[in-house]
């Protein structure tokens, strides 16, 4: 084994260790109920959800792996319980109408950031093309780093949601999920997967990576749905 291969193997091992440490920490938070205030609110009453603090930067949180997804390799599949499965290359995604959104985002680790400007593709428009079957009620989503999360279909199919390619007028950086990430601003941000590659419509709910590790199945910030218990 040459030095380059050894270096690569060491880097992968280090990434794996970081990932496990992060996961163990987050699982412990869930078990301890860390950050919970026991308060609830509504977005029309309070812009900042309970227990959140406002930041002006954009903290980077992931599983310790940031996949380098070249635009040539980026694509999005929408499959499962749909009449018209979609498999769109980057070029095909970029040929679709581009839309802009401004919204606040809220992370379960307690930070919130106001007035984020996004550009990308309407997820409601893509779902309309895919034509969900009557029995479709949930979605499971998969990213290039192996991350998964789940949503009720009704929470995904909302006009404010976006498959984002740009933030604040610039292409999304790798660390923030570029070239393509989902933005679902009304839920905690772990429900907005980075580096998204697949959305599957299903009849029964299927918990994702964090949901099987003690995190809430839906994640409404104003109801402080951080954890499952």
Q: What percent of the chain has pLDDT over 70?
A: 92
Distances from the Cα of 104 to the Cα of 173, 183, 223, angstroms: 19, 10, 16
CB 192 within 8 A of CB 183: yes
Cα-Cα-Cα-Cα torsion 29, 35, 41, 47, nearest 10 degrees, comes to -110
For the stretch 161-213, pLDDT in tens is 999 999 999 999 999 999 999 999 999 999 999 999 999 999 999 999 999 99
Q: What is the C-alpha to C-alpha distance for residues 62 and 142, in angstroms, rounded to an integer?
A: 14
pLDDT reported for residue 5 = 32
Kindly report the pTM of this predicted structure.
0.90
pLDDT of 7 > 90? The answer is no
Q: pLDDT band at residue 14, thresholds of 50, 70 and 90?
A: very low
Mean pLDDT calculated for residue range 65-69: 87
pLDDT of 102 > 90? The answer is yes
Q: How many CA atoms lie within 13 A of 166 on its CB side?
A: 14
Q: Which class would CATH give 3-223?
A: alpha beta
Smallest CA-to-CA distance from 48 within 116, 118, 113, 109 is with 113
pLDDT reported for residue 13 = 38
In eight-state DSSP terms, residue 141 is E
Mean pLDDT calculated for residue range 58-87: 90
Mean pLDDT calculated for residue range 80-95: 97
Mean pLDDT calculated for residue range 79-84: 98
Tokens of 176: 């923030």
Tokens of 57: 């930067």
Q: What is the C-alpha to C-alpha distance for residues 133 and 129, in angstroms, rounded to an integer?
A: 12
Tokens of 142: 């998969």
Q: pLDDT band at residue 18, thresholds of 50, 70 and 90?
A: low
Show me where the domains of the chain are located: 3-223
pLDDT of 73 > 70? The answer is yes
pLDDT reported for residue 65 = 75
In eight-state DSSP terms, residue 29 is H
Mean pLDDT calculated for residue range 217-225: 98
Q: What is the C-alpha to C-alpha distance for residues 157 and 124, in angstroms, rounded to an integer?
A: 5
CB 224 within 8 A of CB 49: yes
Mean pLDDT calculated for residue range 40-60: 96
CB 150 within 8 A of CB 200: no
Q: What is the C-alpha to C-alpha distance for residues 18 and 221, in angstroms, rounded to an integer?
A: 27
Residue 131 or 9, more confident: 131
pLDDT reported for residue 217 = 97
Q: What is the C-alpha to C-alpha distance for residues 67 and 83, in angstroms, rounded to an integer?
A: 31
pLDDT reported for residue 10 = 36
Phi, psi dihedrals of residue 176, rounded to the nearest 5°: -105, 15
């Amino acid at each position: 084994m040459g030095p380059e291969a050894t270096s690569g193997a060491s880097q992968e091992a280090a990434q794996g260790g970081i990932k496990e440490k992060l996961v163990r920490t987050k699982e412990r938070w869930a078990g301890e109920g860390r950050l919970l205030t026991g308060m609830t609110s509504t977005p029309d009453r309070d812009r900042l959800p309970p227990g959140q603090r406002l930041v002006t930067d954009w903290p980077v949180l992931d599983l310790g792996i940031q996949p380098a997804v070249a635009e040539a390799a980026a694509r999005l599949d929408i499959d499962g319980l749909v009449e018209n499965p979609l498999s769109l290359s980057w070029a095909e995604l970029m040929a679709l109408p581009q839309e802009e959104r401004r919204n606040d985002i809220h992370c379960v680790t307690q930070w919130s950031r106001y007035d984020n400007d996004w550009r990308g593709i309407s997820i409601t428009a893509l779902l309309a093309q895919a034509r969900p079957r009557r029995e479709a009620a949930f979605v499971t989503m998969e990213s290039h780093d192996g991350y998964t999360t789940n949503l009720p279909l009704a929470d995904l199919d909302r006009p404010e949601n976006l498959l984002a390619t740009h933030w604040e007028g610039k292409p999304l950086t790798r660390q923030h999920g570029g070239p393509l990430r989902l933005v679902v601003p009304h839920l905690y941000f772990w429900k907005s997967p980075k580096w998204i590659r697949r959305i599957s419509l299903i009849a029964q709910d299927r918990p994702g990576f964090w949901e099987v590790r003690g995190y809430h199945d839906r994640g409404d910030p104003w109801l402080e749905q951080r954890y499952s218990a």
